[in-house]
Chain A
Amino acid sequence: MNNMTKEKLPIESTSPVPMPSTAIAAEAAADQRQEMGGAEPAEPSSLDDHRPPASPSAPVVEVAPDTGPELDAGRTPKMRADKIHVFYGEKEALKGVSIEIHDDRVTAFIGPSGCGKSTFLRCLNRMNDTIPGARVTGDITLDGEDINGPAMDVVQLRARVGMVFQKPNPFPKSIFENVAYGPRIHGLATGKSELDAIVEKSLKRAGLWDEVKDRLQESGTALSGGQQQRLCIARAIAVDPEVILMDEPCSALDPIATAKIEELIHELRGRYAIAIVTHNMQQAARVSQRTAFFHLGEMVEYGKTKDIFTNPRETRTQDYITGRYG
């Protein structure tokens, strides 16, 4: 085939914006579907199934832009942060960070130590309120509601935006009490049986039920590190949150326990919006659909995880993820 190369190289094409072929568009759509909620499109029945449906009314498949400010345009975010600045005394730890957290998605924050990623995560449920001298400016909304507004009850906020920390920190109480505590103080259960049901459901969602169902009255601190972390996740989801923030949830765990937590994050993502801070870039690549790279208090780049790790736009991002930083 003498003209093969010419076919492969339509750089001589005169059309500046060639329409994507339907096959490419369908692939991109499938890609998107997979990102949105995991469920694959209908069972492939034949080899031709990657093509769009042949019905005459087949919808035109919109290809979402991969990167840039248009990313996720038209999707209502669960949380939106706008120009967030955080000062610890004189020091400006965050310099105007704007980002959206979406349902059904894991958003990973990566960056070197001291880049502000944890500080930012803590803004999302006002954990910085507890730090003396910390000052936060900018707007953060949860379902469009200002989380720093006078109408927002911070205890309620932290029930809606739960948090899991680096070191597993179960209460020095029984496994049952660890999970039951939140629903009880928030008045989510009216009786013992209802509370039992919540505890069981939460432990099941956290993938811990089978391991602890026969010893619910034992101390939570007696569990292994990985189990303790899943207990903390069960505790966080027991109050039926909408967003779960995780600050390096696996850095104190061994690889098997880490894999279990990652699998759990994958399962939970259909139910909650999840934001995770991690130093482990492979972990960010494995569990997230969106990645934000922070550096020196700025958010340098935000995009689809698969793009950030294969083709970042910013040199600083490239340098960090390829191990050239510093």
Chain B
Amino acid sequence: MPNSAGHTLKAFDEDLDRLRALISQMGGLAEHAIRESMRCLVQRDLEGALRIVENDKKLDALEVETERRAIQILALRAPMAGDLREIVAAMKISSVVERIGDYAKNIAKRVPALGNAKADEAIALLPEMARIATEMVHDVLTAFVERDADAAVRVCARDQAVDDFYNSIFRTLLTYMMENPQNIGQSVHLLFVAKNIERVGDHATNIAEMVYYAATGQHLTERVKQPRDEI
């Protein structure tokens, strides 16, 4: 249900804008962290990887701040209906985005362990896979800020591509490991990296569900059985 105008109480709108801005900021940091982790992985940039680990603290702090503000709005503004759904979604989304940051951190921590892994094919696929996953995160958070349920649905559809990448990388790494047991250590690390990125895609899909509910008041899973327009 679209809101027709701003609140009579403008400070309420400002509160909500700040909350949305925090989510956007968190999203930006998480996307950057994933992209950086890929660059560090490909270039074996150990210092860069350390920076990613260090920068994750910012994301943690922003999650705390988002929760604090959301609770403040709940307490002081007693939000209803679409506002209420949006604020609850913001709280949930912030913790999911924080998790995405953790995945980037996890990938960064694996960079030193990779040494000069030979698994070129898998390493070549990972950045592209990560690009799709981070774009999903970016687009779903844009959908949240713009309350665009349709855009959220479109994000869900792209998760399949990420999953396909994962399956492909999985098979490639399996082959490496079978070829030579010495490859197992590095391959397992790369497998976890791929798994982390796959999880980022899943999380983007979860966020899409939250955005859909916040914007429409319906769960995405209910969408098929109850077309809103008919009632």
Residues of A within 8 A of B (CB): 2-5, 8-11, 13, 16-18, 67-68, 281-282, 285, 308-313, 315, 317-319, 321-326
Contact = CB atoms under 8 A, between A and B. Distances in A.
Question: Which 10 pairs of residues, A with B, have the shortest CB-CB distance?
Answer: A311-B217, A321-B80, A5-B205, A323-B7, A322-B83, A5-B202, A68-B231, A318-B81, A322-B80, A318-B1
Given A11-B221, A310-B84, A322 B163 contact: no
Nearest to B5: A324
B85 interface: yes
B85 A313 contact: no
Contacts of B63: none
B9 interface: yes
Contacts of A326: 8
A9 B160 CA distance: 12
B12 A323 contact: yes
Given A8-B205, A9-B205, A324-B8, A313 B225 contact: no
Contacts of B4: 315, 319, 324
Contacts, number: 94
Nearest to B195: A2
A215 to B, nearest CB: 38
Interface string B95-127: 000000000000000000000000000000000
Contacts of A318: 1, 3, 81-82
Given A11-B223, A322-B80, A2 B198 contact: yes
B160 to A, nearest CB: 8
27 contacts: A2-B167, A2-B198, A5-B202, A5-B206, A8-B221, A11-B223, A13-B224, A17-B225, A18-B225, A68-B231, A308-B81, A310-B81, A311-B1, A311-B217, A312-B81, A313-B231, A315-B3, A317-B81, A318-B1, A318-B81, A322-B3, A322-B81, A323-B9, A323-B77, A324-B4, A324-B5, A326-B8
Contacts of A324: 3-8
Interface string B1-26: 11111111100100000000000000
Nearest to B3: A324
A308 B176 CA distance: 58
Contacts of B163: 2-3, 5
Nearest to B226: A17
B221 A10 contact: yes
Given A18-B224, A323-B8, A324-B6, 8 more contacts: A2-B163, A11-B224, A67-B231, A285-B80, A310-B81, A318-B81, A323-B9, A323-B12
Given A2-B198, A324-B3, A11 B220 contact: yes
A315 B9 CA distance: 18
B78 interface: yes
Contact of A9 (B2, B82, B83, B220): B220
B17 to A, nearest CB: 15
Nearest to A316: B4
A321 B159 CA distance: 37
B203 to A, nearest CB: 9
A321 B85 CA distance: 13
Contacts of A312: 1, 81
A309 B83 CA distance: 10
A225 to B, nearest CB: 24
B8 A315 contact: no
B29 to A, nearest CB: 23
A309 B80 contact: yes
Contacts of B79: 322
A9 B163 CA distance: 14
Nearest to B230: A68
Contacts of B1: 311-313, 315, 318
User: Which of A3, A5, A16 is the most central at the interface, judged by chain B CB atoms within 10 Å of its CB?
Assistant: A5
Contacts of A13: 224
A324 B82 CA distance: 11
A318 B83 CA distance: 9
Among B82, B84, B166, B205, the most chain A Cβ lie within 10 Å of the Cβ of B82
Nearest to A323: B7
A18 B205 CA distance: 22
B221 A9 contact: yes
B156 interface: yes
A10 B4 CA distance: 32
B91 to A, nearest CB: 16
B148 interface: no
A234 B166 CA distance: 70
A169 B84 CA distance: 38
**Interface centre among A67, A310, A326, by most B CB within 10 Å?**
A310
B209 interface: yes
Contact of A325 (B8, B166, B223): B8
A11 B227 CA distance: 13
B224 A16 contact: yes
A11 B156 contact: yes
Interface string B198-231: 1001100110010000000110110111000001
